[in-house]
Amino acid sequence: MARFAAVIVFLMVITGCASMKVRQNGAIDPNEKTINVPPGGGFAGKVKDALTGRGWKTFVATDLSQSRALGGDVESVQVSRNNRGRYTLFVNSSVYDLCLDGTDAVSYDISIVDSKEGIEIFTASGRGCENAVIKKLIEKSEGKI
C-alpha cells in the first residue's frame, strides 16, 4: 500500500507542474501553412522545428513586435508587411528547471497571428516540460483538443 501511495505522489509531482491555457479565436487555414517566425533557438527553435516537421514553411522575421497590457493580454501587435507568411508566431519563454526526461522545464507564452487579417487566432501560455508542451501546442493549434 505504501508503494502505491508513493507512485501516486510521484505521478502528481511529475504532472502537477504542467499547465496550459489556450484561447482559440479562429482556425488555421490548412492550405496556407506559411508562418513568420522569430530568429533564435532554444524553446522557440524547437517550436519552429515542430512546425516544419508538420509541413509548415517558415520565414525568419526580424521586425516583429507586440505590446502587452498589464494583465498580460496582447494590446497591440505589429506585423511587418515585408513578411511573407500567412501567419506570424510570437514566442516568449524562460527555463525554470530540468524535467525528469532531460528536457528543460519552461514557462511560455505563445501567440499566432493571422498576418492577412491582423487577428490573433491562437494563444497558449503555461509551463511544463519542453517535449510535452510542444506536442500539446501542435495538437491544440491544429484543432485536436
- DSSP type of residue 103: S
For the segment 22-30, the average pLDDT, to the nearest whole number, is 89
Check pLDDT > 70 for residue 9: no
The predicted pLDDT at position 76 comes to: 46
Catalogue the E-assigned strands of the chain: 19-24, 34-37, 57-60, 65-68, 74-78, 87-98, 104-114, 119-129
Burial class (CB in 10 A: 0-12, 13-18, 19+), 53: exposed
- Other Cβ atoms closer than 10 A to 70: 6
Please indicate, yes or no, whether the overall pTM of this predicted structure exceeds 0.95: no
Beta bridge partners of 91: 110
For the segment 105-131, the average pLDDT, to the nearest whole number, is 93
Determine contact, residues 44/37, Cβ cutoff 8 Å.
yes
- DSSP type of residue 23: E
For the segment 124-133, the average pLDDT, to the nearest whole number, is 94
